[in-house]
């Protein structure tokens, strides 16, 4: 049996956290490990956690997703981070491609199928 992939959701908007949690729950092979509303809270929440996937909003009050991703990946290289936003890729800061994230998705495109495709692309077969 394949172990479940732990997923953390980091977003400052409660409605999006709920929607993303429901999407993770509907995704076979994935389990919600926790939610956080800021980059600071995400670092605390994932400290010492096993490898998994963090769905990280880019724009949040306090520590944003880019800085949080850099710190998280430095502390836990086995943790994958997928940055999310409602912005078009042309409007994203250039740091997005340099912060160690596995990729970027528009929030509206998140789905169980996309989650599985992304994870399968991150893990060796």
- The string of pLDDT tens digits covering residues 1-40 is 567 999 999 999 999 999 999 999 999 999 999 999 999 9
CA distances to 27, 93, 100, 106 from 72, rounded to whole Å, are: 24, 19, 9, 21
Give residue-wise pLDDT tens across range 97-117: 778 888 888 899 999 998 888
- pTM exceeds 0.85: yes
Q: What is the pLDDT of residue 44?
A: 95
By CB atoms closer than 10 A (0-12, 13-18, 19+), residue 98 is exposed
Q: What is the pLDDT of residue 93?
A: 61
Share of the chain above pLDDT 90, in %: 62
What structural domains does the chain harbor? 5-122 (3.40.50.2300)
Per-residue DSSP letter, 65? H
Specify the length of the chain in residues.
125
Contacts of 73 (CB under 8 A, 6+ apart): 79, 81, 99, 100, 101
Q: What is the pLDDT of residue 21?
A: 96
Cα separation, 107 vs 66, in Å, equals 16
Q: What is the pLDDT of residue 92?
A: 64
pLDDT of residue 43 exceeding 50, the answer is yes
């Amino acid at each position: 049996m394949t172990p479940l992939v732990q997923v953390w959701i980091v977003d400052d908007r409660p409605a999006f956290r709920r929607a993303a949690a429901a999407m993770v729950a509907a995704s076979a092979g994935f389990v919600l490990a926790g939610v956080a509303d800021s980059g600071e809270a995400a670092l605390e929440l994932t400290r010492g956690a096993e490898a998994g996937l963090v769905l990280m909003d880019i724009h949040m009050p306090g520590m944003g997703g880019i800085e949080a991703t850099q710190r998280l990946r430095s502390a836990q290289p086995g943790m994958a981070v997928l940055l999310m936003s409602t912005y078009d890729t042309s409007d994203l800061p250039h740091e997005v491609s340099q912060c160690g994230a596995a990729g970027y998705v528009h929030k509206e495109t998140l789905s169980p199928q996309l989650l599985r495709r992304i994870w399968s692309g991150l893990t060796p077969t």
